[in-house]
Copies of this chain bind each other. A is one copy, B any other.
Amino acid sequence: MPSGKATSSDVAAAAGVSRSAVSFAFNNPQRISVATRERILAAAEELGYAPSTLGRMLQAGTTGSIGVLLPQGLGRILENPYYSRFLMGAGQVCDQEGYTLLLTPPLQDSVLKAIPYAAVDGFIVCGLEADRGEVAELTRRGIPFVLIDSDRLEGAPSVEVDDRGGAREVARYLLDLGHRRLAVLSMDPGAEVPVRGYRGPLARRLAGIADALTDFGLTMADVRLAEVPVTRSEGYRATVGLMSGDEPPTAVLALSDVLAYGAVDALQELAIKVPAEVSVTGFDDLAESSWFRPRLTTVRQPIVTKGRMAADFLISAIRGEAQHPHQTLGTSLIVRESTAKPA
């Protein structure tokens, strides 16, 4: 019983041939006689030998897997169905093209540090500010990548969503209904906003809301804003805060469905009727949102398609085919039961 680390030299020795012969036996049968091949394979079986994955990858210069560079830990990321859907889309392409998918969370809270530990042919980079160093690092290393949920950047392929249009549409819808006291329940943008301003999808969604407000003679100063991590319980907590004080909002516009669920939880807890007393909207249109009660009014974005395109673009880039394509996907307002005219 070998220690599980038989090498091609061992097999070669056992079969009385050279290491090349061993390699040929596995990858190039026609370059070797049948008898020798059998002998080699028998020896390999005996010793429990199988070609080392790393050895082959190093030699081939390719890993056959694509990395997904994630902005948060796996435990938290996979809690959000948004990412499941996204990975599903990317996974469909991987299935077709025979790639594996390496989920790469930050290392010691640093996305940058995680890069050198991923043996991949390219990265899908999720939800990162495009000028934070990761992009520069990947460029420097010459690793192909595609940006998702980020800012459009020259020289880097990306798949975007019309966040601004979507947010404008849902905000306008609420204003049209007659709501004037809005609360915006937003995802936590990190600590750098004071220095650097909003970035990526968040910036675009806020801009969209501002667009709509302008049409009604309002500004962002007229809405209450809460910024929290994207979990249902944080959405709950923040909403409790938003509803306290004088003149509470008549509509909560959440920038994520998951946050909207939390908002409804809070309102039910406070015995405030949705949508009769307060309207709630989300963003994403997760599958859960049509099951949720009240069925959630939200902005649909094509998450699975986004995943598919990201993987497609990346694989093209890996093959050296594509020239940094950019793609912007549309959104649509899905009106369901969580919104109504203000009381």
Given contacts A64-B117, A288-B291, whether A141 and B58 have CB atoms under 8 Å apart is no
Contact B74 A78 (CB under 8 A): no
Query: Within the complex, which residue of B4, B53, B103, B292 is in contact with A116, where a contact is CB–CB below 8 Å?
Result: B53
Q: Is A102 on the interface with B (CB-CB < 8 A)?
A: yes
Q: Is A87 on the interface with B (CB-CB < 8 A)?
A: yes
Q: Is A133 on the interface with B (CB-CB < 8 A)?
A: no
Contact B54 A117 (CB under 8 A): no
Residues of B within 8 A of A51 (CB): 116
Q: Is A200 on the interface with B (CB-CB < 8 A)?
A: no
Q: Which of A88-96, A146-154, A202-210 contacts the other chain?
A: A88-96
Q: Give the complex CA separation of A98 and B105 in angstroms.
A: 9
Contact A54 B48 (CB under 8 A): no
CB distance from A88 to the nearest CB of B (A): 4
Contact B105 A78 (CB under 8 A): no
Contact B102 A77 (CB under 8 A): no
Contact B54 A75 (CB under 8 A): no
Q: Give the complex CA separation of A204 and B319 in angstroms.
A: 46
CB distance from A213 to the nearest CB of B (A): 32
Q: Give the complex CA separation of A87 and B65 in angstroms.
A: 18
Residues of B within 8 A of A100 (CB): 102-105, 114, 117-118
Q: Is A305 on the interface with B (CB-CB < 8 A)?
A: no
Q: Give the complex CA separation of A42 and B94 in angstroms.
A: 38
**A interface size (C-beta, 8 A):** 58
Closest B residue to A118 using CB positions: B100
Closest B residue to A73 using CB positions: B95
Interface string of A46-74 (1 = CB under 8 A from B): 00101111111110000111000000011
Residues of B within 8 A of A90 (CB): 74
Contact A78 B73 (CB under 8 A): no
Given contacts A102-B102, A292-B291, whether A74 and B88 have CB atoms under 8 Å apart is yes
Closest B residue to A87 using CB positions: B78
Residues of B within 8 A of A33 (CB): none
Q: Give the complex CA separation of A90 and B102 in angstroms.
A: 14
Q: Give the complex CA separation of A81 and B88 in angstroms.
A: 11
Q: Is A223 on the interface with B (CB-CB < 8 A)?
A: no
Closest B residue to A292 using CB positions: B291
Q: Is A217 on the interface with B (CB-CB < 8 A)?
A: no
Q: Is A175 on the interface with B (CB-CB < 8 A)?
A: no
Q: Give the complex CA separation of A64 and B102 in angstroms.
A: 11
CB distance from A228 to the nearest CB of B (A): 20
What 14 new A-B contacts, CB under 8 Å, besides A54-B119, A291-B292?
A2-B142, A50-B140, A50-B141, A53-B119, A54-B54, A58-B58, A74-B91, A74-B95, A75-B89, A75-B91, A78-B84, A81-B84, A103-B103, A288-B291
10 contacts between A and B (CB under 8 A): A4-B141, A75-B91, A75-B95, A78-B87, A79-B88, A100-B105, A100-B114, A101-B102, A102-B102, A103-B103
